[in-house]
Structure 1
Amino acid sequence: MAAMDDDNALLESKTTFALGGDLTVRRIGYGSMRLTGAPEDRRGLTGTIWRTARDRSELTALLRRAVELGVDLFDTADAYALGGGEELLAEALHPYEGTVTVATKAGVVRPSPTEWVTHGHPAYLRQQAELSLRRLRVERLDLLQLHRVDPAYPLADQVGALKQLQEEGKVRHIGLSEVTVEQIEEASRIAPISSVQNLYNLSNRASEAVVDHTAAHGIAFLPYFPVSLDDAHAGPLAAVAEETGAAPSQVALAWLLHRSPTVIPIPGTASAGHLAENAAALEVRLTDAQFTALSGLTTPGAAA
C-alpha cells in the first residue's frame, strides 16, 4: 500500500504544479486568446483578436468540455477582444467554485485591430485589474500577469501596482510575460513572482535561460504557442509519435512537460478533437533518449 501511495504521489508531481506554492493546477492549461471573432478568423497566426466571438454558444460548450477533461487553468487578457475574452470565460465557467483558475494580463492597449501597444502606467494597470474583476465576476484575480514590460516606466512601478492590488486582496498571485531573467530578478525584489509566460516551443528556444531560472526558483513557466512546429521537426516528431502511440502535437507538449517540472503549456484550440488530444498529452511520457533526440533539433530562435 505504501508503494502504491508513493507511485500516486510521483504521478501527481508530474501532472500538477502548485502555482505560487498554494494554487495547484494540472500541467496542461488552455490559452483562450483566439476565441474571438468568426471561426475563419482563428486560423493561422494572423487573427486580429479584436471582436467578441460570433459563435459564443459553441465556444462556451468547448470551454466547459475542457473542464470535463480535467483542464483547470485558463489564460486570457484584458486586451483580447477589448475584454471580450474575459467575458466569454465568465459566461462559460462562472461560478468557478474553486475548480478553475483564471490567469489574465494587463499592460497592452488596443487602439486598432492591428495595434498592440505596451502601456504600463501604474494607474492604468490598476484600472484594468478592476475591469478584469468585473468581467470575470470575481472579488480576487487568481493570477494577474504584466502583459509586457513598458520601458517608459520603471519596472518597480509596474510590478508595484500589481503588488498594491495584491495587498488590497484583489490579486492572489503576480506574473510576468515576455521577460528576461534579469527582469524576473528585478521584479522579484518588488513582489513574489509566481509565473512567467514567454513564447517557447520546440521550434523557438529563445527563452531557454528563463525556463532554467523559473525551474530553479519554483516559478511556473507558461509557454504560449506551445505547439508551433516547423518542417525540421516533422520526421523526428513522427518517429517519436509512432514509438509512444501519441500524436505529433502531443509529443511536442510532452517535450515541454519533460523540459521542466514547472512548465505548464497553454495550448489553445477551437476544435473539440484537438482539445481532447491536448488534454491527453499530460499522460504521454517521453524517455530521456527521446527527449534528448528532440531537443537537439533546433538552435535558439528570436522571440516574437
Structure 2
Amino acid sequence: MTTTESTTATGARRAGGPGPLAGRTVSRVGFGAMQLERLRDDRDTAVGIVRRAIALGIDHIDTAQFYGNGFANEVIREAVRPADGVLVVSKVGATPDPGGPYPMRLAQRPEELRAAVDDNLASLGLDQIPLVNLRRAATGPGLRAVGEQAVDIDDQLAVMTALRDEGKIGAIGISNVGIEELNRALPASPACVQNAYSLVSRTDEDLLELCLAENIAWVPYFPLGSSFPGMPKVTEEPAVRAAARALGHTPAQIGLAWLLHHAPNTMLIPGTADAGHLAANVAAGAVALDTATLAALDAVPSRSGDIIG
C-alpha cells in the first residue's frame, strides 16, 4: 500500500483503510447523509458534521435528492470542497414527497430517473455525479413498485447507461436487487451494489459472492440491522455484546468491523447526525477481530425480516 492510497487528498488517513469504488480509491468507511435531515433547523451543525467526516479520513459520501427534500445535497454542496477529493455518490428511483405518507415516493420510470439525475446535479452543484445508484423497488425493505412504477430493470439500465454516455454520471450502481437482476445488470458494468445486509441479515450472501467475483463493491445499508419493526438489530446480539466487552469497543463498532472483515469489497456508509457517533463509526474501521471472535460472530444466525414500508 502506498502513502497516496492510505491517505485522502487532505492528508488524513483513510477511515477503514483504502478500497476501490467507481474507479477510484476511497475510504472503506464512508458517510451516509440520510440522517442529516435531523439537523434541518441547524444547518451550520450539519455542514460541520460533513466537514468533520472529511477531517477524520472519509472521502466517500452517499446521498440522494430525496434525503430531506434536497437538504442533504445542499449541505454536501456547501461542505465539500474540490480540494477534498471526495467521491459523492447519489441515487435515483425515488423523489421527495414531503406532503405524502412517506417523505419520498417511487420514481422508477426512465424519464423519472433522468429527471432525478438532473435534480441531483443541480442541488449538488456538480457537472457530473461520480456514481449514481439505481434504487430498485421489487425486493428488499421499503416501498414496493406496483402499476406504472413496476419497470423492467433493462429499461432502467438503458437510461442509466445513456446518462453515463452523456457524461452526467460517471458510473452506475444498483440497489435493492436479487441475484437474477444483478446478473442481468452485469453488461452495464455496475460499480457497486447497495442492499440491506448486516451480521444478522445475510440472505444476500450469494450476491456478495458474485460482487466479489466481478470486482463490484458491496455497500450494505442497514449495516447494524434496522429500526423497522420485525428486523433484528446487530447491537442486541449476545455474541456481539460479548465481543464488545472483551475487546473494549461498542456493539455498533463490532457490527461495523465484522462487515469490513467479512469481505474485502465491502464499503460502509453508516449515517449519523451526531459528531460522537461519527467518530465512533470511523474508529470501527480500525477494530481488529481475532479468529475466535470472528468465528463466534460468523455463527450468529441470519434472521432478516421481509419488511415492506
Q: TM-score, length-normalised on structure 2? A: 0.83
Q: Which amino acid aligns with 2:155?
A: D
- Structure 1 distance, partners of 2:160, 2:234, is 41
Q: Which amino acid aligns with 1:97?
A: A
- Structure 2 distance, partners of 1:101, 1:75, is 9
Match of 1:271 in 2: 274
Deviation larger for 148-157 or 204-213: 148-157
* Counterpart among 230, 241, 246 of residue 243 in structure 1: 246
Deviation larger for 282-291 or 221-230: 221-230
Q: Which amino acid aligns with 2:152?
A: P
- Secondary structure of 2:83's counterpart equals coil
2:106 maps to 1:104: no
Match of 1:196 in 2: 193
Percent identical among aligned pairs is 34
Q: Which amino acid aligns with 1:133?
A: L
- Structure 2 distance, partners of 1:245, 1:91, is 36
CA drift of 1:126 comes to 1.1
- Structure 1 distance, partners of 2:120, 2:221, is 21
Match of 1:68 in 2: 55
Q: Is the 8 A contact 2:224 2:235 kept in 1?
A: no
2:207 maps to 1:206: no
Deviation larger for 211-220 or 193-202: 211-220
Q: Is the 8 A contact 1:195 1:219 kept in 2?
A: yes
Q: Is the 8 A contact 2:199 2:302 kept in 1?
A: no
- Secondary structure of 1:36's counterpart equals helix
- Structure 1 distance, partners of 2:234, 2:259, is 18
Q: Is the 8 A contact 1:79 1:110 kept in 2?
A: yes
- Structure 2 distance, partners of 1:231, 1:32, is 21
5+ residue gaps in structure 2?
Answer: 7-12, 138-144, 226-231
Q: Which amino acid aligns with 2:105?
A: V
Q: Which amino acid aligns with 1:184?
A: L
* Counterpart among 124, 134, 150 of residue 112 in structure 2: 124
Structure 2 CA distance for partners of 1:145 and 1:202, relative to 1, 3 Å = same
* Counterpart among 99, 124, 132 of residue 144 in structure 1: 132
Q: Is the 8 A contact 1:144 1:175 kept in 2?
A: yes
* Alpha-carbon displacement from aligned partner over 1:205-248 (angstroms, at most 9, x marks no partner): 23222222211211111111212363884432232123333222
Q: Is the 8 A contact 1:108 1:117 kept in 2?
A: yes
2:7 maps to 1:19: no
- Structure 1 distance, partners of 2:118, 2:235, is 45
CA drift of 1:98 comes to 5.5
CA drift of 1:256 comes to 0.3
| Pairs within 5 Å for 1:72-83 | 72-83=59-70
Deviation larger for 275-284 or 209-218: 209-218
Q: TM-score, length-normalised on structure 1? A: 0.85
2:284 maps to 1:281: yes
CA drift of 1:201 comes to 1.1
Deviation larger for 211-220 or 55-64: 211-220
Q: Which amino acid aligns with 1:257?
A: L
Match of 2:259 in 1: 256
Q: Which amino acid aligns with 1:102?
A: V
Structure 2 CA distance for partners of 1:230 and 1:81, relative to 1, 3 Å = closer
